[in-house]
């Protein structure tokens, strides 16, 4: 058996920060928005595609308390950001958001298929002393910034406590949840593939975890991207945990590509 090559941590972090981007390019499937989350400070999560969809927060990262914390080498494939919410809607300022100019819309997605993905880490989904019950947490949001009930998301719903879920909502919400518990403090790769109005696939750690065929028509105005909570017009469902390597594609990533991206991410765990 050939030994695995050793690379210094700093070298691996730099090389792997864009591995998801490069892998999808190799398959002809470049993301339209990609956030490595490798920043060490500041209020901007930069879009690595060059499309200019940078996410901005009104909080003060690295300031302690409820403010999010940048972890430049703390993610599974490079950097990460850690959110510190202690209740469902107690600190919506932690969210990072991009919204298109309504006068000249630059919509993120206009039709099916598309894919959204991220790495998630949490061990604190259960309530704190502030919150007396479970609350929904949404790590990645793609929706209509002027409407409260039209969006897609990846998160953990109270309907399936501890499980990753793929959301689709055009007035009525439908959850495509896994049976895999992800609230164990480890990093988990979560991918939502939206093939059509009646075909959705959720992947957890590179493996297809569930499907859903309930019809959900495409949201007509997908003009907002957000992380850290359900960043709709009235934000809620704030996150307590880590987020890394966020991507959005205007195609349905194949099972092979999803598995490849997940496997490359695990290289960060080499000794």
Q: Give residue 27's pLDDT band: very low, low, confident or very high (50, 70, 90).
A: low
Token pair for residue 36?
Answer: 């490595």
Give residue 174's pLDDT: 95
Mind listing the pLDDT tens digit for each residue in 74-93?
998 789 999 998 888 888 99
Alpha carbons 69 and 60: distance in angstroms, whole number: 9
Q: Report in angstroms the alpha-carbon separations of 83 from 34, 47, 57, 181.
A: 19, 19, 12, 20
pLDDT at 251: 93
What is the rounded CA–CA span in Å between residue 237 and residue 231?
8
Instruction: Give this prediction's pTM.
Output: 0.86
99 or 63, which is more confident? 63
- 203 burial via Cβ count (<10 Å: 0-12, 13-18, 19+): buried
Q: Which residues are CB-contacts of 230 (< 8 A; sequence separation ≥ 6)?
A: 136, 138, 141, 151, 153, 155, 236, 237
Element (H, E) at 141: strand 137-143
Mean predicted confidence (pLDDT) in 256-263: 82
Quick one: pLDDT at residue 69?
97
Of residues 112 and 30, more confidence is placed in 112
**Out of 9-23, 46-60, 184-198, which region has the weakest mean confidence (pLDDT)?**
9-23
Stronger pLDDT, 103 or 7, i.e. the higher one: 103
pLDDT cut 90: percent of the chain above it: 57
pLDDT at 132 (0 to 100):
54
Eight-state DSSP code of residue 222 = B
The pLDDT score that the predictor gives to residue 233 is 85
pLDDT class for 207, splitting at 50, 70, 90?
Answer: very high
Average pLDDT over the chain, rounded to an integer: 83
């Amino acid at each position: 058996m050939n030994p695995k090559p050793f690379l210094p941590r700093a070298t691996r972090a730099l090389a792997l920060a864009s591995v998801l981007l490069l892998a999808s390019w190799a398959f002809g499937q470049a993301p339209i928005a990609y956030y490595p989350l490798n920043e060490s400070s500041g209020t901007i999560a930069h879009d690595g595609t060059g499309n200019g969809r940078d996410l901005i927060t009104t909080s003060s990262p690295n300031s302690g308390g409820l403010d999010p914390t940048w972890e430049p080498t703390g993610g599974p494939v490079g950097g990460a950001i850690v959110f510190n919410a202690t209740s469902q809607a107690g600190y919506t300022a932690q969210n990072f958001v991009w919204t298109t100019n309504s006068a000249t819309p630059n919509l993120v997605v206009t039709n099916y298929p598309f894919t959204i993905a991220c790495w998630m880490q949490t061990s604190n989904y259960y309530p704190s002393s502030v919150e007396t019950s479970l609350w929904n947490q949404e790590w990645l949001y793609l929706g209509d910034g002027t409407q409260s009930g039209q969006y897609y998301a990846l998160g953990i719903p109270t309907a399936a406590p501890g499980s990753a879920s793929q959301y689709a909502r055009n007035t009525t919400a439908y959850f495509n949840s896994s049976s895999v518990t992800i609230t164990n403090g480890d990093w988990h790769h979560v991918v939502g593939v939206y093939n059509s109005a009646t075909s959705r696939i959720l992947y957890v750690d590179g493996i297809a975890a569930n499907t859903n065929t309930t019809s959900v028509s495409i949201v007509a105005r997908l003009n907002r991207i957000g992380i850290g909570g359900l960043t709709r017009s009235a934000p809620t469902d704030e996150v307590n945990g880590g987020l890394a390597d966020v991507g959005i594609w205007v195609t349905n990533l194949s099972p092979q590509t999803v598995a490849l991206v997940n496997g490359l991410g695990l290289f960060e765990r080499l000794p």
